């Protein structure tokens, strides 16, 4: 996540492969530090100075946790996820939240069971961890089962909510390894959009022919079909990364890179979903970047630079034995030139939507797409006043 002048990297595992030689009996080791990469000066991935922040004594390394950056309080919160390298919680141990203040409703917080592989995002004052599943690696004594629902943390009041009053047989709040995106600029309050991933036990991948929208105010779910690119829709996937940028014409572009296909093969294609049109555009063809990966994370920084961190080229066995084509696993994509670049620069010009994205709004094409009445109301009538 980004906060202030740094990009923070938390959790996961680190490869023991150095100069093509494995330096430990294990392919990977848990990483019990938080890393901070500067965003206020230029750097190249291979030489950037990365700060290391030590854990508190009781803090344990996790994978797939929710990591929330709160600019109002200059704070980062970590919650849920699972212990690294197949470790399990023992009696008396808890998967805690690391934050500035104690929960306002301790009992309500204690009754929420942390899950893993869920969809996580921080949206204004609200932290969301949606779906996923639980087992003894995410919480002591839990058997392997799905965890449908919305776990929501209000940073203003320190209150927690566990929202499960919906049909859990559907995709809403019941998926894992997808993505959650904070959608702002289309009304007085933000929305949360879910895309991709799979239903845990049915192994039913969620097609990217639609997205699911959650309204935290009304606690209602909505579904909207997406519009395909000339090359079709993105393929179904898990373990991909997304990051969103606000266009000058009142749009929101959700950039999506890589992931794991239904055949358990890593991907390297790059797409953008533009709202409010809900139309996909392909920015790169499969294999064009030679940087296939899944399990990575990404963020937008320096106005217009999409930064991808980590990831694996193979699924499970042998994943940490592959050399990464990117130095230190860091890739940078310029969202204006639409090209992978070899350095980060905080002083590049402002972000704006790609030209082909702008065109569908200028020529009126987006007006003719098929929107549900609710989506029409939420996204088109309440579009940001800075649209042109």
How does DSSP assign 5-17, residue by residue?
Answer: TEEEEES-EEE-E
Distance between CA 301 and CA 194 in Å, rounded? Answer: 22
Highest mean pLDDT among 8-17, 78-87, 215-224: 215-224
More confident residue, 98 or 314: 314
Q: From residue 370, how far is each of 138, 224, 278, 279, 365 by CA, in Å?
A: 41, 9, 10, 11, 11
| Total H helices, total E strands in the chain | 3, 34
Over the stretch 111-139, which tens digit does the pLDDT of each residue have? 889 999 999 999 999 999 999 999 888 88
Domains of the chain (ranges plus CATH)?
A: 60-225 (2.120.10.80)
Q: What is the pLDDT of residue 15?
A: 77
Helix (H, G, I), strand (E, B) or coil at 345: coil
User: Please, what is the average pLDDT of the chain?
Assistant: 88
Helix (H, G, I), strand (E, B) or coil at 48: coil
Over the stretch 301-349, which tens digit does the pLDDT of each residue have? 999 999 999 999 988 777 777 788 899 999 999 999 999 999 999 999 9
By 3-state DSSP, what share of the chain in percent is helix, strand and coil, each rounded to 5? 10, 40, 50
Asked whether the beta carbons of 120 and 67 are under 8 A apart, the reply is yes
Query: Which alpha helices (DSSP H) does the chain contain, by range?
Result: 106-110, 355-362, 373-375
Asked whether the beta carbons of 272 and 255 are under 8 A apart, the reply is yes
More confident residue, 243 or 84: 243
């Amino acid at each position: 996540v980004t906060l202030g002048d740094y990009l923070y990297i938390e959790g996961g595992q680190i490869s023991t492969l150095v100069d093509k030689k494995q330096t430990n009996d294990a392919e990977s080791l848990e990483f019990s530090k938080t890393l901070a990469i500067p965003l206020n000066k230029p750097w190249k991935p291979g030489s950037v100075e990365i700060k290391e922040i030590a854990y508190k004594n009781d803090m344990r390394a996790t994978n797939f946790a929710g990591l929330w950056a709160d600019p109002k309080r200059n704070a980062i919160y970590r919650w849920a996820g699972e212990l690294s390298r197949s470790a399990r919680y023992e009696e008396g141990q808890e998967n805690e939240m690391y934050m500035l203040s104690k929960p306002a409703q301790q009992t309500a917080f204690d009754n929420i069971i942390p899950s893993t592989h869920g969809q996580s995002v921080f949206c204004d004052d609200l932290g969301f961890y949606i779906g996923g599943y639980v087992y003894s690696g995410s919480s002591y004594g839990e058997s392997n089962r799905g965890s449908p629902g919305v776990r929501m943390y209000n940073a203003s009041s320190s209150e927690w909510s566990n929202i499960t009053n919906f049909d859990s047989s559907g995709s809403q709040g019941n998926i894992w390894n997808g993505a959650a995106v904070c959608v702002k600029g289309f009304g007085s309050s933000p929305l949360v959009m879910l895309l991709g991933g799979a239903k845990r036990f049915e192994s039913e991948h969620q097609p990217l022919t639609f997205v699911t929208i959650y309204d935290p105010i009304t606690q209602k779910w909505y579904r909207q079909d997406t519009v395909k690119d000339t090359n079709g829709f993105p393929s179904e996937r898990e373990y991909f990364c997304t990051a969103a940028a606000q266009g000058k014409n009142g749009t929101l572009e959700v950039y999506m890179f890589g992931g794991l296909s239904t055949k358990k093969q890593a991907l390297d294609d790059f797409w953008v979903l533009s709202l409010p049109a809900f139309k996909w555009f392909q920015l790169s063809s499969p294999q064009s970047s030679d940087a296939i990966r899944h399990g990575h994370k990404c963020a937008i920084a320096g106005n217009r630079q999409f930064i991808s961190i980590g990831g694996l080229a193979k699924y499970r066995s042998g994943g940490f034995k592959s050399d990464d084509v990117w130095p230190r696993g860091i890739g940078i994509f310029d969202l204006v030139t639409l090209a992978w670049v070899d350095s980060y620069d905080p002083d590049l010009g402002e972000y704006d939507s790609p030209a082909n994205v702008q065109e569908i709004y200028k020529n009126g094409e987006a007006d003719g797409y098929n929107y549900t009445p609710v989506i029409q109301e939420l996204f088109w009538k309440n579009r940001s006043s800075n649209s042109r």
